[in-house]
Amino acid sequence: MSAFVAVGMVVAVFLTALLSGIFGMAGGLILLWILFFLLPVGTAIAVHGVIQLVANGSRAWFSRSWIDWRIVGTVSIGLLTAATLFLLVSYTPELAIVSIVIGLLPILVWVPNSWFALDASKRHHALACGLIAGGLSIGVGVSGPTIDIFFIRTMMDRRVIIATKSAIQVISHGLKVAFYASTTFVLSGSEWLAIAIAAPIAILGTKAGNGILQRLTDANFRAWTRWIVTAIGFFYFVRGVHLLAS
The percentage of the chain sitting over the pLDDT mark of 90, rounded to a whole number, equals: 21
Residues 11-16 have a mean pLDDT of 78
DSSP letter string, 1-50: --HHHHHHHHHHHHHHHHHHHHHSSHHHHHHHHHHHHHS-HHHHHHHHHH
Q: What is the pLDDT of residue 71?
A: 94
Residue 2, pLDDT > 70, answer no
Which residues, including other chains, have CB under 8 Å from residue 83's CB and lie 6 or more apart?
Answer: 134, 138, 175, 178, 179
pLDDT tens-digit profile of 123-156?
999 999 999 999 998 988 888 767 877 887 677 8
The number of domains in the chain is: 1
pLDDT tens-digit profile of 23-69?
666 777 888 888 888 888 888 888 888 888 887 888 788 888 999 99
Residue count of the chain, please give it: 246
* Residue ranges making up the domain that contains 84: 3-245
Q: What is the pLDDT of residue 212?
A: 72
